[in-house]
A and B are shown apart, each in its own frame.
Chain A
Amino acid sequence: MASADSILVVEDIVKRFETPDGVLTAVDHVSFDVAPGEFLAVIGPSGCGKSTLFNVIGGLLDGYDGRVSVAGETVSGPHPSIGMIFQEESTFPWRTVIDNVAFPLEIAGMGKSERYDKARHFVGLVGLDGFERRYPSELSGGMRQRVSMARTLASEPKILLMDEPFAALDEQTRLLLGDKVLQIQQDLKQTTLLITHNLTEAVQLSDRILVMTYRPGKTKRIVDIKLPRPRTSEIVGSDAFGHYVAQIWNDLREEASKGLKDDEQRVARAGAVRK
């Protein structure tokens, strides 16, 4: 892979946590790179270390081995070129939609009218026109997640990092928001790294998919998705789509069942201790 023109390079990341049961390797020698404008998905079963990887790349975690670099520059701490959208609900409940979205612009010291104009643009981009003056408590979960998305987009990051942004949503909303992401990606030529455990979502949106193994989280395979762009959620019904899903599910099933077995064993062990 031509890492010379890659905007994000992740090399040999190893992250271990000290736990009461000993050292847990959450991410184990994961490497990949992302070209400008590319959409890469990282997929893996629950608990395989995806959020850990996300926090390492975003500069929110330290004490790891390996290297993350953005446009050739090694990252230590949060990097201004990286924008993050988090797995959990992360809107500011004390700010209206427009003030949430204008937050990064306010921090950057932009004047009031200018930042509202710009924020309004991004509110429109995620399809929330008319909700500018509402508070997050007055919105649905999907709308709030779009507010978080608009807020991060408003900071115009070179690289967008998303950690299961739609995990808490139902399947229909997820597909429709996927359309929004596709459209935004197309309009902004946004370099994106999406972390997910949802197969449909990964195939629907990505140029490439990195499949992670279950504990320790290693790279199992990287799959090129050669579906035509521009795409919409309609692609979900196509044969080619089904083919990719089946192929990746093969890899994923193995890992997911390891995860399940692990959980079952833990439950059994806990039960034995209690007896």
Chain B
Amino acid sequence: MSRQQLIISGVGGQGILFITRLLAETAIAKGLPVLTSETHGMAQRGGIVISHLKVGDFSSPLVRPGKADLLLSLKAETVALHLHFLNHSGTVAANARALPEAAAGKEAVTVDADTLALNLGDPRSVNLIVLGRALAQPGMLFCSAEEVIAVLKARLAGKEKQLQGALAALKAGMEYGAA
């Protein structure tokens, strides 16, 4: 898959920028052009935060409504809020115990990332858990788990503790998918 449009959303403080850039760097590592759009400022204080990510040949960083292939939702409530970005065959990966009603009829996967994150002792790892869940689903993302892990290792080189935490979170999400 050399072209993909994604929406990543949740609330301020969940590390949405981190996984947006992680995926963008993975695209570059694969030799693909990439454009993203981030939320900064007031909304980062607990408001709704949304990132757009476009991999492939695009000129604008914003995903138009009805064009996204995937919605990664770190907070269940953003599924309903941002579902309109999806195209007809668009899929959803959400941090939720059960699939939010709004996504009925969509191809979707869920993961109870809050509980997993608390079990890992790191409430801030929800972002990577949800990403791991999506990576475990074949064909959901433009890249593979191995490719993301390679970039993660380069990004967190020299920060062993952070890296181990990040890898554990990613793995927790992936295994939840396999279970």
Q: Do they bind each other?
A: no
